[in-house]
Amino acid sequence: MKTRLNLQHALAASALVLLSACSTTSQQQATDNSKLPPVGNTLSKAAVAPEALLNRLSWGSNPSTLQAMQAVGPDRYLDQQLRGRNATLPAAIQAQVDAMTISRQPFMDTMRDLEARRVASEQQKGTDDTLRKEYQQEMTRLAREAANRALLRDIYSSNQLQEQMSWFWMNHFNIHSGKHNIRAMLGDFEEQAIRPNALGNFRDLLRATVMHPAMLRYLDNEYNAVNRINENYARELMELHTMGVNGGYSQKDVQELARVLTGVGVSLNKDAPRMKPEQEKLYVRKGMFEFQPQRHDFGDKQILGQTIKGRGIAELDDVLLMLSRQPATARYVSQKLAQFFVADNPSRDLVEKMAQRFLQTDGDIPATLRTMFDSQEFVASLGKKFKDPMHYMLASVRLAYDGNTIVNTGPMLNWLNMMGQQLNGRQTPDGYALDESAWASSGQMTVRFDIARSLANGNPGLFKVDTPAPLATTAAAMPAASMTPSVAANGMQAPVMSTPAPATPVTAQATTPAAPAAPKPPPPALATSGYVKNWSKQFSPATQTALSQASTPQEWNALFLASPEMMRR
């Protein structure tokens, strides 16, 4: 009996270590960068064009970012970005972020308040629809806040690489906002699981996503229990999050991983469930994350040829360590990073070098990225990667309104919707495609030209404080059964062009506190900007001829923003 109790105490302590690792990751990120090599001179030696380099390291080159890079040189600037330190926002933008509910109210309080609203609306079901509508609108408002915060950081953060990597990992660990109450969890998922680990360690990042209620709910693991196995999350954990579809695991490995994940779920209850005393010691709770030993399969498991002793939540840490150290995981993650930053089809040599660095550093993301950025393949690729909608929109806004304070991201959200890449709008867990063929259509180009014209003439919507339109994410949730591995494996793509969802009213009480109205700036002065004019000299003769024939500054702006060169980064 004594031995059994000691084991239980040890397991409980192991669980606490497992969970505490998630909460301290951001601190580790700021101090543990010893795996990065000293600053080199690859970029300086290659004499890369600064606009081209910034278009790859940031969400879009502009004079402010160029000034920051020129102050330290390209190689030291890259090193600073990789270390992810001292990211700042302009005071007016930080004030907008600080005023959001998702910044001011604890996540658990928000979710319990929403649950109370849901229960109340259910009690009125069939007689009065008011509470149900208010419940839905509040979730949409919270999702809108999360999207606003992400876009403001993308445009204004001094650490642009961290923001790009946050988007990359949000896409890699994709969750769809239309399911259940996930809309209300998006902000916390990004803030607690993704962003602090975006330039940290892959295993920490993986663990943080495994233990977030948004992921557990999206991939149905809250229903996974002993004798009632749900393999959905286990399959995506191997197929999409770590080893890749051809990573060398078997169906039996997926089934065994699903057994490890039994009992890992979500709870909003204030009290632990009733259980036997020996099980109480194994119960784990952190926020909405819950490990319920009554629902766990305590038998031994066999995964990738290794035995996982059945002992509770500690099994999960063993498996995450195993998966993060697989060569297949290193190659799969490196392949996706190289596809995002270098080319649609990066060379095997580059991916292998990155994978080896990933394994040598035990999943250090900056060190893996550094191997990629220091490669000649990266240097040679500058200016050639086709921009997805997110990159095109942000690059255009950052260039057109550098130095101005945007107070309304509504137009940007609509543009993303029209281009088929709305934030957290990808229904299947595989995330949006990263290659040119997914986005380079004639319909896509038509929308981009319209965006260019709108920005060229001075888009008033970006500087107009009004009631925000909700995200186009309130469509019916995708049935859990339809999110099958086969769908993900087939890479079912959202339509390139989609119709914006109709706006639904947002109550005054539910509206985000608006920042003070900023004076509407004049139309972008691209045509007279020395920075932009100098940049345009690198464009093709055909583009330069077209620009020279512009009859007005606004027309010049539009031609520049819609040029073939602005479609690439």
Q: What is the pLDDT of residue 519?
A: 66
**Rounded Cα–Cα distance for residues 289 and 142 (Å):** 20
Confidence of residue 114 (pLDDT cuts 50, 70, 90): very high
**Rounded Cα–Cα distance for residues 141 and 138 (Å):** 5
**Rounded Cα–Cα distance for residues 295 and 302 (Å):** 19
**Rounded Cα–Cα distance for residues 411 and 534 (Å):** 29
Confidence of residue 67 (pLDDT cuts 50, 70, 90): very high
Q: Residue 387 in 3-state DSSP?
A: coil
Q: What is the pLDDT of residue 12?
A: 46
Average pLDDT for 527-546: 95
Confidence of residue 108 (pLDDT cuts 50, 70, 90): very high
**115-124, 422-431, 490-499: least confidently modelled range:** 490-499
Of 335, 370, 346, 253, give the one whose Cα is nearest residue 301.
253
Is 2's pLDDT higher than 60? no
Mean of all residue pLDDT scores within the chain:
88
DSSP per position, 30-93: HH--TTSPPP--HHHHHT--HHHHHHHHSSS--HHHHHHHHHH-HHHHHHHHHHT-S----HHH
Confidence of residue 330 (pLDDT cuts 50, 70, 90): very high
- Show the tokens assigned to 416: 């993303």
Is 389's pLDDT higher than 80? yes
Is 20's pLDDT higher than 60? no
Q: What is the pLDDT of residue 523?
A: 86
Q: Residue 175 in 3-state DSSP?
A: coil
Q: Which residues pair with 441 in a beta bridge?
A: none
Confidence of residue 125 (pLDDT cuts 50, 70, 90): confident
**6-10, 86-90, 428-432, 504-508: least confidently modelled range:** 504-508
Q: What angle do CA 421, 425, 431 make, to 5 degrees?
A: 75
- Show the tokens assigned to 89: 């926002």
DSSP per position, 116-146: HHHHHHHHTTTT--HHHHHHHHHHHHHHHHH
Confidence of residue 467 (pLDDT cuts 50, 70, 90): low
Of 389, 428, 402, 419, give the one whose Cα is nearest residue 497.
419
Q: What is the pLDDT of residue 461?
A: 92
Q: What is the pLDDT of residue 21?
A: 41
Give percent above pLDDT 70 in the chain.
84
Q: What angle do CA 193, 197, 201 make, to 5 degrees?
A: 125
Q: What is the pLDDT of residue 93?
A: 97
Contact call for residues 330 and 367 (beta carbons, < 8 A): no
Average pLDDT for 207-212: 98
Confidence of residue 250 (pLDDT cuts 50, 70, 90): very high
420 — alpha (psi -120 to 50), left (phi > 0) or beta?
left
Q: What is the pLDDT of residue 517?
A: 57
Contact call for residues 540 and 534 (beta carbons, < 8 A): no
**245-254, 262-271, 472-481: least confidently modelled range:** 472-481
Q: Residue 364 in 3-state DSSP?
A: strand
**Rounded Cα–Cα distance for residues 378 and 419 (Å):** 27
**Rounded Cα–Cα distance for residues 80 and 87 (Å):** 10
**Rounded Cα–Cα distance for residues 456 and 452 (Å):** 6
Is 522's pLDDT higher than 90? no
- Show the tokens assigned to 325: 């150290």
Is 500's pLDDT higher than 50? no
